[in-house]
Amino acid sequence: MMPTNTGSLALDDAMRSRAAPAASWGAIFAGATVTASLSLILIALGTGLGFASISPWPGRGVSAAGFTVVGAIWLIVTQWLSAAAGGYVAGRLRHRWLATHTHEVFFRDTAHGLVTWGVATLVFAAVLAGSFASLTGLGVRAAGEGLRAAGEFTSQGASAARGADGGGQRGSYDIDKLFRNPAPAGSQPGQSPPSSQDAGVGGGADDARMQVMHIASNVVTGGSVTAEDHAYLTSLVAAKTGISTEDAQKRVDIYLQTMKEETLKATAAADQARKAAASAAIYTALSMLMGAFIASVAAALGGHLRDEHS
């Protein structure tokens, strides 16, 4: 009777071991906590080092390209270290699976590491939801920066025509240069400039400025100025300022060229911001995939050591 009871007891133990849950959620949450906490620490450290490496002064600090490369490397390092630590903790803390094939044990360990990384990623994303949303929307907003910047001249000119304060705005300043009268004969440096009526910008000046901005907006949209619009701008400037047609034409050419250059600069800056946002998103995705792999490998290693030393 004793051998029968012993066999039944051994069979019951084996069945009980097989019936044990495959997932050790306590170990998973512990590993996820370690992963998320270490990620926050490393990101805070990287942010501090990043601010220390850049400078508003020209010729100092790392360049924009260098900062992007270093930031991408730091993202990868952050994922590696945090995922490795969290996966290893999850593997060492999970319960032991008795009467289970070694291949199944290996699969469960890697699954524990992957789930640990997933839980930590979800927690981290929830904490930094605003930052991720800002990163995603940056590329979309940057795509419209060029058109918005191109229309800045129009909005600035309209504000100036309505009497708004546009003293520091580039677009209003360039329009003011169009309608400047030459200095009166015999005037001395330091004398006050002529009044609005004397300068030829009174009366219909607001309407003239609006017409200039409408033509300029059409130039930005179409990419070039028509001969008719160019001739009209020249005659308008000559009539309002009293200068010769040749001088008025020079002013118009300078104004249109300045406007195109400023628009191109704004568009280039927007395109650079779009590319930076796209690169940051790609680097982040790659680093997260690496983190998932590292967490699985670390959990398998931790689980193997846990079974070997218990």
Contacts of 75-80 with CB under 8 Å at 24 or more apart are 75/283, 75/284, 75/287, 76/283, 76/286, 76/287, 76/290, 77/42, 78/39, 78/42, 78/43, 78/46, 78/287, 79/39, 79/287, 79/288, 79/290, 79/291, 79/294, 80/290, 80/291, 80/294
Work out the mean pLDDT of the chain and round it to a whole number.
73
**Mean pLDDT across the stretch 78-84?**
92
Q: What do you get for the CA distance between the two ends of the chain, in Å? A: 33
Amino acid at 31: G
Q: Look at residue 75 in the predicted model and tell me its pLDDT.
A: 85
Write the DSSP string, 115-136.
HHHHHHHHHHHHHTHHHHHHHH
**Cβ atoms within 10 Å, residue 89:** 23
When pLDDT is averaged across residues 173-194 and rounded to a whole number, the result is 48
* Domain ranges, ordered by start, for the chain: 23-136+278-308, 147-179+199-267
Contact 79, 288 (CB under 8 A): yes
For residues 135 and 59, the model is more confident at 59
The pLDDT of 226-235, averaged and rounded, is 82
Report the predicted TM-score, pTM, of the whole model to 2 decimal places: 0.57
Q: Which residue has the higher pLDDT, 165 or 295?
A: 295
Q: Which residue, among 48, 162, 29, 27, has the nearest Cα to 97 in the 3D structure? A: 27
- Contacts of residue 6, Cβ cutoff 8 Å, sequence gap at least 6: none
